[in-house]
Amino acid sequence: MKKCRPIYLPLTLALLAVITNVAGCAESSFDLASDSRLPKWFTVTDGTPRGEFRVTMDYYSYPNQSEAVFSLYKKGNLLRLKKVTGLIRKGGPIKLKNPPAGFPEGRPIYEVITVDGVADIIEHRIKGPIFYVTDDPDIWKEIGVEQK
């Protein structure tokens, strides 16, 4: 039985590191809560009610930035209607100085995500695969984002 040369392991690890830095790593996936509005970069003009749509969000990490990929689907249909990628504001998840009552310790947390120059604030109320989009002007003000 042949033994592997010692050089193969370092080369394999180096190649894996390069691929990971270029491609990024998927961190987590979420579904938009059914009682939350759609993110600003998704508009529905045909009069279809909000409840007929499903939105997913996937966080990706790269060495110098993080992104969120949002996909819009019509419920019951696997065909994606729209996909957008947004940049996540640096600094990690945001915690409010005075968080609202009724949430678990350390929650909610927020992320500011910008798609094509349009910012929206994502809210994670509890640990788990659900996210919300917030319109609370006090939260927007504390986080330092102009609400448009």
**68 torsion bin: left (phi>0), alpha (psi -120 to 50), beta (else):** beta
Rounded Cα gap, residues 85 and 48, in angstroms: 24
Per-residue model confidence (pLDDT) at position 108: 97
Per-residue model confidence (pLDDT) at position 81: 94
Residue 70: inside a domain, yes or no?
A: yes
48 Cβ partners below 8 Å, 6+ apart?
A: 74
Count up the domains in the chain and report the number: 1
pLDDT (average), residues 49-75: 93
Instruction: Answer whether the bond into residue 108 is a cis peptide, omega within 30°.
Output: yes
Residue 66: inside a domain, yes or no?
A: yes
Per-residue pLDDT band for 100 (boundaries 50, 70, 90) equals confident
Amino acid at 54: R
Strands 130-133 and 25-32: parallel
Q: Are 81 and 72 in contact (CB under 8 A)?
A: yes
Per-residue model confidence (pLDDT) at position 54: 95
Give percent of the chain with pLDDT exceeding 70.
Answer: 84
Structural domain span for residue 98? 24-143
| Whole-prediction pTM | 0.81
Range scoring the smallest mean pLDDT among 6-15, 19-28, 68-77, 94-103: 6-15
Task: Express each pLDDT in 6-35 by its tens digit.
Answer: 555 555 545 444 444 455 677 799 999 999
Kindly tell me if the per-residue pLDDT of 2 is higher than 60.
Answer: no
Q: For the chain, what is the HEC assignment?
A: CCCCCCCHHHHHHHHHHHHHHHHCEEEEEEEECCCCCCCCCCCCCCCCCHHHEEEEEEEEECCCCEEEEEEEEECCCCCEEEEEEEEECCCCCECCCCCCCCCCCCCCEEEEEEECCEEEEEEECCCCCEEEECCCHHHHHHHCCCCC
Residue 14: inside a domain, yes or no?
A: no
pLDDT (average), residues 58-82: 92
Per-residue model confidence (pLDDT) at position 47: 85
Residue 59: inside a domain, yes or no?
A: yes
Residue 11: inside a domain, yes or no?
A: no
Task: Express each pLDDT in 104-118 by its tens digit.
Answer: 989 999 999 999 999
Per-residue model confidence (pLDDT) at position 147: 80
Residue 8: inside a domain, yes or no?
A: no
